[in-house]
Structure 1
Amino acid sequence: MNKKILTMPRWLKISIAVSVSLIVLFLVAGFIFYNMLTTSLPRYEGEIVVKGISGKVDVYRDSLGVPYVVAENETDGAFALGYLHGQERMFQMDLVRRAGAGRLSEILGPDALIYDKMLRTVGIKKTSQRIIKVLKPEVLKLLKSYSAGVNQYLKDSKGKYPVEFDILDYDPYKWEPEDCVIISRMMAWELNISWWTDISFTHLVQKLGEEKVKQVLPDWEENAPYVIPSETKSYPKLGTGLIEIDKDLRKILGINGTHLGSNNWVVDGSLSVSGKPVIANDPHLAYSTPGRWYAAVIRAGDWNVEGVTIPGIPAVVIGKNQNISWALTNIMLDDTDFYIEKLDSSGTKYLLNNSWKDLNISEETIEVKDSLDVKLKIRSTHRGPLISDIHPYSFLYPDKSLQRTAISMKWVGMETTEEVNSFYLLNRANNWKEFKEAVGYFSVPGQNFVYADKCGNIGYVFGGKLPKRESTSPTFVFDGTTEKYDWKGYVERPEIPDLFNPSQKFIATANNKTLKNFKYHVSNLWEPSSRIERITGLLTGKQKYSVPDFMKYQMDQVSPYAKMITQYIISAFNNVKATDENLSLTLDLLDDWDYEMNEFSQVPAIHSVFYKYLLKNTFYDELGDDLYNQFIFVSNVPYRSIEKMMKDKSHPWFNNTETPQNEDRDFIIRKSLVDALSELEKIFGKEIKEWQWGKLHTVTHKHTFSGQFSLLDKYIDIGPFPVGG
């Protein structure tokens, strides 16, 4: 009997072989990646024998993983904190210090060259080197001990660094005290909001003219007389490429926190259940993986403090010691100015007061991974560096007038300031006097310091170096050919009011205007008043407050700003019959809304998408794509502009310049709501019940590598999470 032999088709054999090979490769790659991840995990248990400390140091952790450092003296405590920061945040620390030092190209290659050029030109590393020389001896000693702790981690973990180092194929270099200062200065850079606005506002004037811009910029009359310099319109054209470079760098570093807002407040003992002051703080920096803060408790000799630290700095930035507590928000201080410079044909001199002055010219070498070194020439006037040298204008802006524009920059962060001294003293302050002394060393970024102590006192101190300007138009780029617009030094600290045990029994800040009728310019960049109004309402609504009350208030989602906008929406439809079913239902929902941005509610989604279209339908026709995106990026500017414009039904900016008819506020409101409903119907369908805010409004804590390796995003990012607010 003949047996029939079945043979497998060749194509099937090949397919199976390829499939098996891919599975094996995937498993091997997965095992290698898993091994890379697990071998770099921080140690939470065990004993480590190290050199560099004088006694035993114990580290305990609570149920949330927060470390409690117990040491016999401050230097040993700093060493331990450095080790802990290193083992849990080394890549984060290394990336930020590299950015500040202009050394990203060493690990990221030519694509990062533009960022290195920017921050080398700004001079964060050079500034940090100067700051190190003015630190108090005890502070420098602490930085050295902290650095030794970081370096001990680097030594102990050689070959087992976090997986990011393996992916980028490099090892971190030795940590130095100077790196701690760089980290501190990078925080100042992150919170520098006026870097964004001066150039954009000047561009507005150049495109639209003085009168048109007067109509839209918020707080135009703040420091009367307030007149745009007549020279502005005749300046060479300015590009916004510098701002785009900064935006991209912030995405890489996860420090895109310029305009997210923060709150702090304190009540004295007469308003608290406990009879003692209660203080609260919620700084809203950018969400990232890992997070920006590192919570810690330190018991090390006279250093007895707890709160949140910034990895790379041996200090609690926001927190308390055995005698006082403190909380911070951004002042929104205008501490940056830009100047249009006139250079001679050689590019080595600039015109000042009808005389040619020599530019200060230096050269640095940037090492670039997989490429040749790059020479960077940095040219500076007496005010600061020519930031227009950062990138080739000819590449980004073919317009020759843009290529010729030389812009210098003056920033408080380029000064030799002493924030690290401030943090040291702040951690050890025992009373109001010592607290004020500590804040007196703080210059940049400008911060609202709110205070409470165990004796029942509360207070507020303006923490920042405030430029003295004779100009009444500090929101624009200045003419650099004259000293007329130069800073005339800084406002003396005693001239800036503080607040101690006020009669209202509480203090609150929310990036709002903090100094009323102050003779010096502080800022035009305040956040809208809605947050401070809500906080003030909450702090005047009860006789006594507790810690749980404040925790609840920190999660409060009621928006006075939304209330203001919604009232205009309802008014715009008062005499209009809504024939569309969803439009009619929407108006009913808006009319009944309690203005809470609840994630499960549909009304916040409607309101927020409406607001997006309100901005676009109001500003886009005049501004165009690039300038519109710049204008809305620092959100408090259009928010406050709209708040101002809504009071005038016939405000000229509501008119669409691209149509023959003359539109007014109510027309734009009606169009924006119809546009919003159309978008929501496309996303979620016709049923309004499906339009929950949390489906649209999510939070994702993104890793630096997010978006670079799409298969990894779900493993390295945390989220998205539906949220209210």
Structure 2
Amino acid sequence: MARLFRWLLRLAAALILLILIASGLAYYLAAQSLPEYNKQISLPGLSAPVEIIRDNANVPHIFGSFGASDEDVYFGLGYAHAQDRLWQMAVLRRTAQGRLSEIFGRRTLESDLFVRRLDIYGLSQQSVSAQSAEALQSLKAYSAGVNARILEINEDALGRGAPEMFLFNMPMAPWQPADSIAVMKLMALRSSHHLQDEVLRARTSLALADPERLQDILPDAPGKGITTLPEYASLFPGLPRYASAAPLPPKSSLFPVSPRGFGGASNAWAAAPNRSAAGGSLLANDPHLTLSAPGSWYLARMELATGGIIGGTIPGIPAILTGRSEQLGWGITASFLDDQDLFIEKLNPNTPEEYLTPQGYRTFTKRPSIIKIKDEPPVTLTLRWSENGPILPGSLFGLSAITPPGHVVSLGWTALDPHDTSLTAAIDLMRSSNVSQAIAAGEGFIAPSQNLVLADRTTIAQKTIGAFPARDARHHSKGRLPSQGWQRVNRWLGRAPYAANPEFTSPRGGILGNTNNKILQRPFPSHVSYSWGDTQRVNRWRRLMQSREVHTRDSFMEAQLDTVSYTARSLLPLIGADLWFTGGAAEDGSREKQRQTALTLLSEWNGEMNEHLPEPLLYAAWLRA
């Protein structure tokens, strides 16, 4: 017995020793992958020394020494991105390429199939030649900086560049300008939602016996809107008069389209000098995207020939998308522009590889695409495009429920442009020195569409940037429902002129802003959207802005950190009007007493959604029930 105990003790000691050795080795390898900031290195691709200084928040400040060019600073940004976010950049690129399944297996196959059908990466490669010479130089310099970090990792045996890459063997190919364009298109995909809106509206229309109720269930944003729509069943009589109850397919956390209503939101506003206590313009921006780890944004400062710029970048994209220079500040909010349409394509009953157009039947544009899957045989996908856009399968977004027999669905989307100059526009915006130059720079922006809020020393403005689809005024569904792709009146007529994009400059009240709210009412086809963000934020913002004659930096910060729910303050009196102060006194500890206590708390609550208060929980539970 004693011998057995000794052997068990030795075995336990050996196991503990092995665990300690394995843990130490894992820590050493992971630590090797973490960046070292206090060092001097010589890297290929620079024309002069570049210094990257990080502050206490680890924000990199990138300076070029005497003789350095702007390209050297972009090189430094690429290097800093790759130091801190190499894994994130690798995942974003593979998502845009439709190559996640090579690493994660079948669970990401749905994402790869969808992105390959859109051909995001192929279109990005074609868009490289559309960039301006200056932007292309910046893209190449940024790519060289990323690749210099990859080379450093490989030559100096610095692990794999990121601790995550020990868990997932993801070989890192050199970064290219097309990769940055693809990441920008991926951001557009993640913020687009009109495809899902059209499917929901069509399925709801099919489920309703009374078509007038469609406007009640899916109402327009406040303000005068469209009054009538055709029944979806009248556009496609072959469909059953009910919506399919089949559940939508489960989505991987890496699927590039956010669930409807969760695509992110944003706030931005500005005050002119006459509404500022210091006599200068003020601008605030809160571009919140879907929560992730790491987050989508990466703060950085770049010292260019035109001056210093600091603000938010997205790893993989060599541009400060929201930030400021000494002369100009700019912020962005999602515009909710209706930049997507679904088209129902009628197949030739005799030749399913042909579809109907206004000129007769034509053959789909086709090409094969092979998707490799970890530990499984590859999948060969046939990509099909009509004149309206890529063909999507019925398994996506519940499309099968709204597709008549003998038809398929195609997607029209502004981001599917082989001459996408959005990155050139973003880089030109960074180099702008005043509001008018910034507005002019926005003309080249295609997607994602944004409301650009601007402030220079004397002027504030807001301009919607991004390509507006030009539609025929006789469009059958006004872009709100999937339409017949073979009808000329439903097809896009190119891009609307940039001058038609909403623009507000130097408002008389001295303050402007956007919380994804409806910004104007224009009749179709000059409309911006029929679907907007919630209106509660703009109402609360309006009250905060109008509560004082002049604003300061602190008052803008106070507004950004405000936690009062306008919705709660509006709904509580209505919902609780017949509940409060009813019934007699109740015994302590009884359910009736708890009910009365809860109602008393709510009746005295100002709507502040503070995490230390019980009222927000009571309100949320009550509203849900």
- Given the two structures, how large is their TM-score scaled by the length of structure 2? 0.90
- With over 3 angstroms needed to count, the CA separation of the structure-2 counterparts of 1:462 and 1:262, relative to structure 1, is same
Give the aligned partner of residue 466 of structure 1.
Answer: 468
Q: Report the AA paired with residue 200 of structure 1.
A: L
Preserved contact between residue 264 and residue 509 of structure 1 (Cα < 8 Å): yes
Return the offset for 1:106: 1.7
- Give me the whole-angstrom Cα distance separating, in 1, the residues matched to 2:14 and 2:519: 66
Q: Look up the match of 1:289.
A: 293
Q: Show structure 1 runs of 5+ residues with no match.
A: 1-6, 614-671, 673-725
Query: Which is worse superposed, 437-446 or 300-309?
Result: 300-309
- Whichever residue aligns with residue 593 of structure 1, its letter is W
In 2, the alpha carbon distance for the partners of 1:608 and 1:601 equals: 12
Q: Which has the higher helix share?
A: 1
Q: What residue in structure 2 maps to residue 91 of structure 1?
A: 87
Deviation at 1:344, TM superposition (A): 3.0
Alpha-carbon contact 1:196-1:243 (below 8 Å) kept: no
Given that residues 353 and 363 in structure 2 are in contact (C-alpha distance below 8 angstroms), is that contact kept between their aligned partners in structure 1?
A: yes
> Residues of 2 paired with 1:330 and 1:400: CA distance?
28
Q: Per the alignment, do residues 250 and 514 of structure 1 end up closer, same or farther by CA in structure 2, a change over 3 Å counting?
A: farther
Q: Which moved more, 1:218-227 or 1:580-589?
A: 218-227
Alignment counterpart, residue 352 of structure 2, candidates 337, 347, 350: 347
Distance 1:363 1:190 in 2: 25
Matches within 5 A, 1:218-237: 218-219=219-220, 222-230=224-232, 231-232=234-235, 234=237, 236=239
Residue 181 (structure 1) shift: 0.3
Residue in 2 that maps onto 1:524: 530
Which residue does 2:589 correspond to in 1?
A: none
| Deviation readout 1:316-366 (Å, 9 max, x if unpaired) | 110012211100000111211112222235430112348322111111122
1:402-421 mapped onto 2 (5 Å cutoff): 406-415=408-417, 416-421=419-424
- Report what 2:149 is aligned to: 153
Deviations 1:62-113, CA, capped at 9 Å, x for gaps: 1211111111211000111111101110110010111101111221223322
Per-residue deviation, residues 598-656 of structure 1 (Å, max 9, x unmatched)? 11111111111223x2xxxxxxxxxxxxxxxxxxxxxxxxxxxxxxxxxxxxxxxxxxx
Deviates more, 1:263-272 or 1:510-519: 510-519
Answer whether contact 2:323 2:329 (CA < 8 A) is retained: yes
Q: How many Å apart are 1:254 and its aligned residue?
A: 9.5
SS of the residue 2:252 aligns to: helix
- Correspondence for 1:585: 597
Aligned mates of 2:363, 2:375 — CA distance in 1 = 36
Q: Does 1:129 align with 2:125?
A: yes
Query: Aligned letter for 2:378?
Result: D
Which residue is equivalent to 1:214?
A: 215
Question: What is the one-letter code of the residue matched to 1:341?
Answer: E
Distance 1:197 1:156 in 2: 47
Q: Tell me the secondary structure at the aligned position of residue 149 of structure 1.
A: helix
Q: In the alignment, which of 31, 36, 47 is matched to residue 54 of structure 1?
A: 47
Q: For the residues of structure 2 that align with 1:518 and 1:388, how far apart are their CA atoms?
A: 33
Judged with a 3 Å threshold, the aligned counterparts in structure 2 of structure 1 residues 254 and 331 are, in CA distance, closer, same or farther, namely closer
Tell me what 1:610 maps to. 622
Residue in 2 that maps onto 1:619: none
The answer to whether the 8 Å contact 1:135/1:418 transfers is yes
Please give the secondary structure, in 1, of the residue aligned with 2:111: helix
**1:317 and 2:321 matched:** yes
Residue 705 of structure 1: aligned partner:
none
Which structure 2 segments of 5+ residues have no match?
587-591
SS across alignment from 2:575: helix
Give the aligned residue type for 1:330: A
Match of 1:545 among 525, 541, 551: 551
Greater alpha carbon shift after TM alignment, 516-525 vs 529-538? 516-525
Q: Which residue of 2 aligns with 1:648?
A: none
SS in 2 for 1:68: strand
Q: Which moved more, 1:173-182 or 1:583-592?
A: 583-592
Bigger shift: residues 483-492 or 162-171: 483-492
| Cα-to-partner distance string for 1:372-423 (whole Å, 9 max, x where unaligned) | 2321101111101111177799xx98x9988866211111111232110111
Instruction: Write the distance in 2 (CA, Å) between the matches of 1:467 and 1:139.
Output: 25
Report the counterpart of residue 430 of structure 1 in structure 2: 433
Could you tell me how far apart the structure 1 residues matched to 2:532 and 2:302 are?
A: 35
CA distance 1:493–1:252, change in 2 (3 Å): closer
Matched residues, percent identical?
27
Deviation at 1:24, TM superposition (A): 3.2
Distance 2:557 2:297 in 1: 19
Tell me which amino acid in the other structure corresponds to 1:408: S
Cα distance change of structure 1 residues 594 and 196 upon mapping to structure 2, 3 Å threshold: same
Measured in 2, the distance between the counterparts of 1:239 and 1:380 equals 26
User: What are the residue-to-residue correspondences of 1:192-341 with 2, within 5 Å?
Assistant: 192-209=192-209, 210-219=211-220, 222-230=224-232, 231-232=234-235, 234=237, 236=239, 244=249, 247-250=251-254, 258-302=262-306, 304-341=308-345
The answer to whether structure 1 residue 75 and structure 2 residue 53 are counterparts is no
Q: 1:255: how far off?
A: 10
> For residues 46-76 of structure 1, what are the alpha-carbon distances to aligned partners after superposition, in whole Å with 9 as ceiling and x for unaligned?
1010111111111111121111111121100
- Looking at structure 2, the residues matched to 57 and 122 of structure 1 have their Cα atoms a distance apart, in angstroms, of 39
Is 46-55 or 460-469 further displaced after alignment? 460-469
Aligned residues: 601
Q: Could you say what secondary structure the match of 1:31 adopts?
A: helix
User: CA offsets per residue over residues 455-506 of structure 1, 9 Å max, x none?
Assistant: x211111112222333354222223342332223332122233111110100
Post-superposition CA distance 1:234-285 (Å, at most 9, x none): 354776999646x425468999994432111110111112110110001111
Alpha carbons of structure 1 residues 440 and 572: separation in structure 2 relative to 1, 3 Å: farther
Aligned residue type for 1:562: A
Q: In structure 2, do the counterparts of structure 1 residues 252 and 37 end up closer, same or farther at CA, with 3 Å as the change threshold?
A: farther
Which range moved further: 282-291 or 253-262?
253-262
Q: SS of the residue aligned with 1:414?
A: coil
1:167-186 matches, within 5 Å, as 167-186=167-186
* SS of residue in 2 equivalent to 1:373: strand
Shift in CA distance, 204/78, structure 1 to aligned 2, threshold 3 Å: same
- Whether the 8 Å CA contact 2:46–2:72 is kept in 1: the answer is yes
TM-score (norm 1): 0.78
